Amino acid sequence: MAVQHPWSRYVALGDSFTEGIGDPEPRSPGGNRGWADRVAEVLSRTSPDFAYANLAIRGRLLQQILDEQVEPALELQPDLITISAGGNDIIRPGTDPDEVAGRLEAGVARLRTDGATVVLFNGPDIGRTPVLGRIRGKVAIYNENLHYIARTHDAIVADMWALRELTDPRMWAPDRLHFSPTGHHTIARMVLDALGVENDLEPYRPEPLPTVSWRRARREDIVWAREHLAPWIIRRIRHRSSGDGITAKRPFPEPFMRGDGES
């Protein structure tokens, strides 16, 4: 029997990662499931009064998350908060990971005001990924700052860098910028472990992971460049965001219903 955890109201903050992009599920609000929904589903099983809100919106930069999500999150009176922010800033040329982390720390201090448990996410090791591999050093610097922030403000780090499974290309969605359903599932397992919550999520589920031949991989490289990389570059040039016009998929804490996006 699963052990009762101490949380009854969970609010997730962030960008596309927390919104669940890459893990499509028509039955879920917003059409995406993601690791946060999966975590909320597990937490709801042993807490009859559990409620969950997700304020994350794709494409949001750190300052937008701080300005648009922190105070609304606190108004919901959560006792558990996850925040993944700064990744979209770090991938932009010329940004300073120390400066970005400094702004994040102010947000974390505010989120800890009422004593809620706060979970931070560092960045995964992207050394083997196309396009993003060249900023691996910036991500590592940002990660070290996050560990300092967590120690200073008594927060928890969900350690993406140490999650070696994420180096498997099958953990990534076709756009290679977001995680696949299996990637989100794997991250949910890691978050629950960081919280010390027992769960029955099995590794490399909910779907099989077929191997990909070299020839097929090269064909997929060409398709990826045309369908995902080029549009991503164009948005950056035009200073547009994939989140323009998008609203939070779960703006208010609600019970997480069994079957709500469940595989």
The share of the chain scoring above pLDDT 90, in percent, equals 60
In terms of domains, do 67 and 112 share one? yes
Cα distances from 65 to residues 68, 85, 145, 170, 185, in angstroms, run 5, 7, 18, 29, 24
Query: 261: pLDDT confidence band, cut at 50, 70 and 90?
Result: very low
Q: What is the mean pLDDT of the chain?
A: 85
In terms of domains, do 80 and 186 share one? yes
Predicted confidence (pLDDT) per residue in 7-48, tens digit: 999 999 999 999 999 999 888 888 899 999 999 999 999 888
In a domain, residue 103? The reply is: yes
* pLDDT for position 244: 59
Q: Structurally, how many domains does the chain consist of?
A: 2
Mean pLDDT calculated for residue range 230-254:
65
In terms of domains, do 72 and 23 share one? yes
* pLDDT for position 73: 97
* pLDDT for position 228: 45
* pLDDT for position 198: 92
Residue 146 has pLDDT above 50, yes or no: yes
* pLDDT for position 6: 95
Mean pLDDT calculated for residue range 101-128:
95
Domain that holds residue 127: 9-210
* pLDDT for position 221: 47
In a domain, residue 260? The reply is: no
In terms of domains, do 119 and 230 share one? no
In terms of domains, do 155 and 228 share one? no
C-alpha to C-alpha distance for 185 and 201, rounded to whole angstroms: 8
Cβ neighbour number for residue 235 with a 10 Å cutoff: 14
Predicted confidence (pLDDT) per residue in 248-259, tens digit: 898 888 887 644
* pLDDT for position 192: 97
- CATH number of the domain at 153, please: 3.40.50.1110
In terms of domains, do 143 and 226 share one? no
Predicted confidence (pLDDT) per residue in 168-211, tens digit: 888 988 887 889 999 999 999 999 999 999 999 988 775 544 55
* pLDDT for position 262: 46
Query: 217: pLDDT confidence band, cut at 50, 70 and 90?
Result: very low
Q: What is the model's pTM?
A: 0.82
Mean pLDDT calculated for residue range 105-114:
98
In a domain, residue 76? The reply is: yes
In a domain, residue 250? The reply is: no
